Amino acid sequence: MLDYPTLRSVLSDMGEPELRARQAYHAVSRSLVTSFDQATALPASLRGRLARRLSVVDLEERRTLRSPDGSAIKTLFAAADGLPIEAVQLTSGTRVTVCVSTQVGCAVGCVFCASGRLGLRRDLRAGEIADQVLHFERLLRADGRRVTNVVLMGMGEPFHNYDQSLGACRLLNHADGFGLAARSISISTAGVVPGIRRFTAEPEQFNLAVSLHAGTDDVRDRLVPLNRRYPLHELLAACAAYVRRRRRKLFFEYVLLPGVNDGPEQVAALGRRLARPLYHLNLIGYNRTDDRFPAPSPADVRSFAADVRAAGVACTVRHSPGREIEAACGQLALRESPC
Ligand code: SF4
């Protein structure tokens, strides 16, 4: 997705007035053209010249999988350099959430995450992140629907690519452009403390989620290697500062792995650390991607949730639609390269 400053600069170079930049930006971010040849608000001669200078869409759709009930759609794109990028659309009632990737691969290496096993290939640019959303929005509009929520929770650690991730949120939120409300956009971090501190000071009301996955450092060290750098006391101090300053709900994600992070000591630690106003734990049963961990039964997940609630923590069990197409949390793995 092109941003307004880029369009204004290119059109100014071409000797065009600012009005043309506004029209071109409207075409890209509101009419969702895929080429300037389709931007009918622009003079015909300019459309062709602009189309030769700038491409509107940098991602090429390579493969799309749909769950049998249609609630989950996973699309594999190729970036301009051929690298693979995955995004998922999840529908629940009127809510249509698009989960986007912020990097190709990921350097964090969470042990239960398929994406983490790839290592980091490269950061995505803000336009490439936003383009994943625009792709689904184009398809939805044909049915009179819209993307209602965006989560930066696909492949990659958004705060390892801070500027481009925030840049994508701003592109999607831009009032004269795509116009998605800031409160409908969420960033999920595995616990990059400097990123949380920086995010706390941002002016927009984007949401924050922290992938916790354990209540004690010994278990979290094993699951999320980043914990050795930013242990729980540091991470939760940054979280507390965020809530104090923003007065917004903070979501903690917890992938339940039987025999690993479902013991009573984890429940007790979660009670000590998270039984606070505005803290909310989202519990997700592990989606099995290989033989390293078993998946919990729905009863196991419900029972852990009940124990955590009894310890004073607000907790919701999240269902993971899209298991059939490996579109659920931790399953974005790029099983095949589009190259
Ligand atoms: S869970 Fe997120 S942060 Fe952890 S390896 Fe996977 S993509 Fe990276």
> pLDDT for 24-57, tens place per residue?
999 999 999 999 999 999 999 999 999 999 999 9
> pLDDT for 259-274, tens place per residue?
999 999 999 999 999 9
Asked if residue 313 belongs to a domain, the reply is yes
Asked if residue 334 belongs to a domain, the reply is no
Q: With a 6 A CB cut-off, is 127 part of the ligand 1 pocket?
A: no
Asked if residue 321 belongs to a domain, the reply is yes
- DSSP letter string over 67-106? -TTSSEEEEEEE-TTS-EEEEEEEEETTEEEEE--SEEEE
| Residues 15 and 160 occupy one common structural domain | no
Mean pLDDT (the chain, rounded): 92
> pLDDT for 117-140, tens place per residue?
778 999 999 999 999 999 999 999
* Residue that wins the pLDDT comparison between 327 and 304: 304
| Residues 285 and 172 occupy one common structural domain | yes
HSE-CB at 214 with a 13 A cutoff on CA atoms is 25
- DSSP letter string over 110-161? -TT-TGGGGEEEEEPPHHHHHHHHHHHHHHHHTTT----EEEE-SSS-GGGG
Residue given tokens 């959303």 in the structure block: 133
CATH number at residue 251: 3.20.20.70
What pLDDT sits at residue 324? 54
What pLDDT sits at residue 114? 76
* Mean pLDDT to the nearest integer, 274-297: 89
* Mean pLDDT to the nearest integer, 151-166: 96
| Residues 85 and 129 occupy one common structural domain | yes
Asked if residue 331 belongs to a domain, the reply is no
| Residues 74 and 204 occupy one common structural domain | yes
Active site residue: 86, 128, 137, 157, which one? 86
Q: Are 18 and 165 in contact (CB under 8 A)?
A: no
CATH number at residue 15: 1.10.150.530
Cβ-Cβ contacts under 8 Å for 54 (sequence gap 6 or more): 2, 6, 7, 10, 36
| Residues 94 and 39 occupy one common structural domain | no
Q: Are 89 and 35 in contact (CB under 8 A)?
A: no
| Residues 26 and 115 occupy one common structural domain | no
* Residue that wins the pLDDT comparison between 240 and 322: 240
Confidence band, pLDDT 50/70/90 cuts, at residue 194 = very high
Residue 334, pLDDT above cutoff 90: no
Rounded alpha-carbon distances, angstroms, from residue 219 to 51, 110, 232, 281, 318 = 53, 12, 11, 17, 22
Tokens of 181: 């409300």
Rounded Cα distance, 243 and 227, in Å = 21
Q: Are 72 and 321 in contact (CB under 8 A)?
A: yes
Q: With a 6 A CB cut-off, is 171 part of the ligand 1 pocket?
A: no
To test the pocket of ligand 1, the residue of 86, 99, 101, 106 to mutate (highest count of ligand atoms within 8 Å of its CB) is: 106
> pLDDT for 78-100, tens place per residue?
999 999 999 999 999 999 999 99
Residue 158, pLDDT above cutoff 60: yes
Asked if residue 247 belongs to a domain, the reply is yes
| Closest among 187, 213, 215 to 202, alpha carbons compared | 187
Task: List alpha helices for the chain, DSSP H.
Answer: 4-13, 18-29, 44-53, 126-141, 162-173, 193-200, 217-223, 232-246, 264-274, 298-310
Q: Any catalytic annotation for residue 204? A: no
Q: Any catalytic annotation for residue 60? A: no
Q: With a 6 A CB cut-off, is 208 part of the ligand 1 pocket?
A: no
Domain extent, residue 13, equals: 4-53
Of 174-188, 208-222, 275-289, the range with the lowest mean pLDDT is 275-289
Signed CA dihedral, 107, 109, 113, 117: sign only: positive
Residue 97 phi/psi, 5-degree rounding, is -105, 135
* Mean pLDDT to the nearest integer, 10-18: 96
DSSP-assigned beta bridge partners for residue 317:
283
Residue 203, pLDDT above cutoff 60: yes
| Residues 225 and 301 occupy one common structural domain | yes
| Closest among 185, 210, 213 to 196, alpha carbons compared | 210
Residue 155, pLDDT above cutoff 60: yes
Confidence band, pLDDT 50/70/90 cuts, at residue 318 = confident
Confidence band, pLDDT 50/70/90 cuts, at residue 335 = very low
Q: How far is the CA of 329 from the centre of ligand 1 (A)?
A: 9
pTM higher than 0.95 = no
Atom of ligand 1 nearest to the CA of 190: 3
Confidence band, pLDDT 50/70/90 cuts, at residue 339 = very low
Atom of ligand 1 nearest to the CA of 188: 2
Atom of ligand 1 nearest to the CA of 154: 7
Rounded Cα distance, 61 and 86, in Å = 10
Dmax over CA atoms of the chain, in Å, equals 69
Rounded Cα distance, 272 and 312, in Å = 9
Residue 279, pLDDT above cutoff 50: yes
Tokens of 225: 């290697």
Residue 330, pLDDT above cutoff 90: no
Q: Are 161 and 103 in contact (CB under 8 A)?
A: yes
Asked if residue 268 belongs to a domain, the reply is yes
Confidence band, pLDDT 50/70/90 cuts, at residue 319 = confident
| Residues 277 and 158 occupy one common structural domain | yes
